[in-house]
A and B are shown apart, each in its own frame.
Chain A
Amino acid sequence: MNKIENNKAWFFVIPVFVVVAFSAVIPLMTVVNYSVQDIFGANSTFWTGTEWYRQMLRDPDLQAALLRQFAFSFAILAIEVPLGIGIALLMPKKGWAASAALVLVAMPLLIPLNVVGTIWQILARTDIGLLGWSLSSIGVDYNINANAADAWFTIILMDVWHWTPLIALLSYSGLRAIPDAYYQAARIDRASRWAVFRYIQLPKLSNVLVIGVLLRFMDSFMIYAEPFVLTGGGPGSSTTFLSQALTTMAVGQFDLGPAAAFSIIYFLIILAVSWVFYTAIMNAQKDKSAQQ
């Protein structure tokens, strides 16, 4: 096939290019510059080479925070994606009930992150909080400030409460975009409810789910305000995730060099995982369309 390549359209990309350069590329370059130096002040710097990277990569606290971060991100994805699809399937399809359901489901998304943390912190208190009080009154020894398992349970529950609506709304819009002809064909074939879901709804949802999974992975991998308000990273450091470890270092101790080196490592991990997710799902789609 002879395709005429015309690259003039690239000129229209220039404004975006400039904005991205100033908002992302130049700051990132600055971080790289910081990561190889010890910066004492505006004009006094000292070349350290890869020393900060060496320190950060061998720091047991950061390694533990990284493992925790992966555990957290995969746990919430494993809960939120199936749950979000389930909610989307149950939501009414038309009429006033559809609008009402949309508003209700979207509600948690409208609440600012630190407010979500505060709500759940109060909810988890055993003296006045609904969740904490209920659990302790039925005899469960529940205390997020002393028990790491309780803190994890509450943080995961909080994230599921806050962000499952995003997956549900994306899936709902994906479901509404499926033409009725598919369902008619399925009825003619007397397809079961499961077959309709497996061979019509799920494949048609894969595009929005790619976006949903990517957004949730990146967002959860950068989670900061909610666990910081809810548990402050404790008890001990059992819920200290990567961004909190980074903030403590960069803002609390003002170690710009190590914090910059750590940011670069953090960035590379997010980039790699997102790319693998994206490529895997895109290729699964390509194989499918090749088969059809």
Chain B
Amino acid sequence: MSWMHWTGPTAGFFISIALILTGMTVWQYFSPSVERKGFLPIATTRGDRLFIGLLTSAFIHLAYIGVTEFHVLVATAVSVVWMVILMRWG
């Protein structure tokens, strides 16, 4: 694995993504998601909202890094709040 040049933060990032996906799979198994319409313009399932949330979170990070001088963890905090709103009411 040394050729991949792992670092602590990137390993943590991928482990948390893997955990989220596993968690979502288990959740889906025990209580299958129903497609519904929230504040997003399209009807979405839980997995759709997760995907939208992860993708928009990536762009939130890019916007923070590209435009502002804040620490990147500020963007992470904003993303987590956004993710919760999206999963609950999206």
- What residues of A have a CB within 8 angstroms of the CB of B3 in the complex? 30, 42
B62–A29 touching, CB < 8 Å: no
Contact A54 B65 (CB under 8 A): yes
Judge whether B58 and A32 touch: CB under 8 Å: no
**Nearest Cβ in chain B — how far from A35, in angstroms?**
9
Complex Cα distance A141/B7, Å? 56
CB pair A268–B62 under 8 Å, yes or no, is: yes
Interface of B is mostly: helix
Partner of B65, one of A37, A47, A57: A57
> B5 near A33 (CB under 8 angstroms)?
yes
* B interface residues, how many (CB within 8 angstroms): 20
- Rounded to whole Å, the gap between the CB of A48 and the closest CB of chain B is 10
Interface membership of A50, Cβ < 8 A: yes
Task: List B residues at the A interface (Cβ < 8 Å).
Answer: 3-7, 9-10, 13-14, 29, 32, 42, 51, 55, 58-59, 62, 65-66, 72
- Distance in Å: Cβ of A212 to nearest Cβ of chain B: 22
Q: Which residues of the partner chain B approach A58 to less than 8 Å between Cβ atoms?
A: 66
Binding site of A, secondary structure by majority: helix, strand, loop or mixed? helix
Q: Is A49 an interface residue (CB 8 A)?
A: yes
Q: Chain A interface (Cβ within 8 Å of chain B)?
A: 5, 7, 26, 29-30, 32-34, 36-37, 39, 42, 45, 47, 49-50, 53-54, 57-58, 265, 268, 271-272, 275, 279, 283
Nearest opposing residue in chain B for A7, CB measure: B29
Cα(A265)–Cα(B63), bound, Å: 11
Q: Kindly name the residue among A5, A33, A47, A54 whose own CB sees the greatest number of chain B CB atoms within 10 A.
A: A33
Q: Are A29 and B4 in contact (CB under 8 A)?
A: yes
Chain A residues whose C-beta falls within 8 Å of the C-beta of B66 in the assembled complex: 53-54, 57-58
Selected from B4, B9, B55, the residue in CB contact (under 8 A) with A268 is B55
Q: Which of the residues A34, A265, A283 comes within 8 Å of B42, measured between beta carbons?
A: A283
What distance in Å separates the Cβ of B78 from its nearest Cβ neighbour in chain A?
A: 15
Complex contacts, B42 vs chain A, CB 8 Å: 279, 283
Given that A57-B62, A57-B65 are contacting pairs, would A37 and B72 also be in contact in the complex, using a CB cutoff of 8 Å? no
Q: How far is the CB of A60 from chain B (nearest CB, A)?
A: 12
CB proximity of B76 to chain A, nearest CB, Å: 11
What is the CA–CA distance of A32 and B13 in the complex, to the nearest angstrom?
10
Q: How many angstroms between the C-alpha atoms of A198 and B29 in the bound complex?
A: 43
B10 touching A36 by the CB < 8 A rule? yes
Known interface pairs A53-B62, A283-B42; A37-B5 also in contact (CB < 8 Å)? yes
**A33 touching B4 in the complex, CB below 8 Å, given contacts A50-B72, A275-B55, A279-B42:** yes
Asked if B65 and A53 make an inter-chain contact with CB atoms under 8 angstroms apart, the answer reads: yes
Whether the pair B55, A34 counts as a contact (CB closer than 8 A) is no
> Which of B10, B14, B29, B55: most chain A Cβ within 10 A?
B10
